[in-house]
Structure 1
Amino acid sequence: MSACPTCNCRKPLGFGIKMAFQPIVDIAKKNVFAYEALVRGENGEGAGRILGQVTEENKYTFDQSCRVQAIETASRIKLPGSLSINFMPNAIYEPETCLEKTLETAKRTQFNRNNIIFEVTEQEQVVSQQFLVEVFEAYRKEGFKTAIDDFGAGYAGLNLLADFQPDILKIDMKLIRDICQNKVKQTLVRSIQQIGEELGIQLIAEGIETEDEYKYLRDSGITLMQGYYFQKPMLEAIQDVNFP
């Protein structure tokens, strides 16, 4: 495979990007498990507006820039615990080479690489599932944790789990919405819980917005959660979480 192209990782698309951070909470320990870095525009513009400008030509540079910006900002605001970064597998040329900027940034900012989680959405159609497995394995070799986002809603699903078991599965918010009233969703989430338990994979329920959703998941034994119910993403900042 060819090496990654050279690029200016700080201003990839002709506009600036910033990062917002949303906590992933551990309701059993009453602390923050990690913060997910979410891309925003320079003036706080939403992710949709930014991602809408990503093309085949600039996606590699965009992906690299998001990693650098997330780590630099997390270091600057003294982000406690782990940092979860979304990555675009179709933007990667060769896993080890494409990690060089990430490793350099972590070293330069003194951000512990063992506190970095790389997550990929299950909804992204990767060119090759085997290549995605190679990417995950390369990341794990360097000490990064791995996660599959939106699990239960996309293209990879159980086929990917058969080839690679990530550290974390994030249960898709569509399965979480109104789960307290939907027996089908309850059954599906219980199945995912069983998979996680038997394979030694941590589960995060994402997209929690109501007290009823929170209470149902809590009573079901899920302890890692993320969503507006706890805190909305904050631009280049964090604050104490008000635990229920």
Structure 2
Amino acid sequence: MRSNDPGAGCALCRDAEPLSFDFSYAFQPIVDVDTRRVFAHEALVRGVSGESARSVLTGVTADNRYAFDQACREKAIAIAARLGLRSHLSINFLPNAVYRPEVCIRSTLQAARRHGFPVERIIFETVEGEQVSDGKWLAEILNQYKRIGFMTAIDDFGAGFAGLNLLADFQPDMVKLDMALIRSIDQSPARRAIVAGVVSMCGQLDIDVIAEGIETANEARCLRDLGVHLMQGYWFGKPRFESSTHEREIAWSD
């Protein structure tokens, strides 16, 4: 729960003990099937030897989540810069770990400058499924990030707590459709109708749609026919530990 004291969260980041665990990242491509380019890589937290995200997240507590969120942003940028990443970089963040957006973002901006990674190629992605008690506060965070120059995305759209109410308060640069809507969409008229409706709505709001969780060529072709051109999933590339994916390695749908 966000504190009423705007300095409380800042103190938790500034004065917190160093994290008792280390972590790293794997990177999964988000591709543009129209241009056949890698549009972005999503940074996915892993253990230092490639262990699962769960092995890291079990160490995150109410006492260290603020410091962990800051460390995640900085480390994702540092590794992406080391890899010479030329695509966008999508970083997940914890909205409940943000107390004052303009302050909490400072270390991220410093990391981007330090490593020479362009701010305009960073996407901040929040999971709609994380319950945020104050939707307008989440919109305020995202608005602040957008004003600074970052791109913004809502993950798992359609599966969480905010949904259409969030879009009424804030229009991100993109939404990522929940993979439950994508699974076997080529065989489901209901899923196709829902996705077509979301694509139409987002088009009117100038929001790009990303379909994630794609595992077959038929799913990819169906989504392209529905007007989706940004896609992510094992069909195009699995997460690679401390490594990126090149266009020539992508299994395109046709």
Shorter chain as denominator, the TM-score bin is over 0.9
Question: What's the TM-score, normalizing by structure 1?
Answer: 0.96
Distance 2:190 2:243 in 1: 38
Give the AA of the match of 1:242: I
Alignment of 1:51-62 (within 5 A): 51-62=57-68
Q: Deviations over 1:1-36 (max 9, x none)?
A: 423125489x95311110110010001101011110
Distance 1:49 1:112 in 2: 31
Task: Indicate the residue corresponding to 2:180 in structure 1.
Answer: 174
Q: How many matched pairs?
A: 243
Q: CA deviation at 1:39?
A: 0.3
Distance 1:65 1:216 in 2: 39
Task: Indicate the residue corresponding to 2:250 in structure 1.
Answer: 242
Q: Deviations over 1:51-74 (max 9, x none)?
A: 222111111111111100100000
Distance 2:110 2:141 in 1: 18
Conservation of the 8 A alpha-carbon contact between 1:151 and 1:170: yes
Task: Indicate the residue corresponding to 2:6 in structure 1.
Answer: 2
Secondary structure, aligned partner of 1:33: strand
Secondary structure, aligned partner of 2:110: helix
Task: Indicate the residue corresponding to 1:110 in structure 2.
Answer: 116
Task: Indicate the residue corresponding to 1:191 in structure 2.
Answer: 197
Distance 1:206 1:12 in 2: 34
Distance 1:207 1:136 in 2: 24
Distance 1:145 1:37 in 2: 15
1:33 pairs with 35, 39, 47, which one?
Answer: 39
Give the AA of the match of 1:214: A
Conservation of the 8 A alpha-carbon contact between 2:12 and 2:66: no
Question: What's the TM-score, normalizing by structure 2?
Answer: 0.92
Conservation of the 8 A alpha-carbon contact between 1:12 and 1:65: no
Task: Indicate the residue corresponding to 2:75 in structure 1.
Answer: 69
Distance 1:207 1:242 in 2: 15
Give the AA of the match of 1:187: A
Conservation of the 8 A alpha-carbon contact between 1:27 and 1:243: no
Secondary structure, aligned partner of 1:5: helix
Q: CA deviation at 1:229?
A: 0.4
Task: Indicate the residue corresponding to 2:232 in structure 1.
Answer: 226
Conservation of the 8 A alpha-carbon contact between 1:38 and 1:47: yes
Alignment of 1:125-164 (within 5 A): 125-164=131-170
Distance 1:6 1:128 in 2: 21
Question: Gaps spanning 5+ residues in structure 1: where?
Answer: none
Secondary structure, aligned partner of 1:24: strand
After the TM superposition, list the runs of 4 or more consecutive aligned residues in structure 1 that deviate by more than 3 angstroms.
6-9
Cα distance change on mapping 1:43 and 1:8 into 2, 3 Å:
farther
Q: CA deviation at 1:126?
A: 0.8
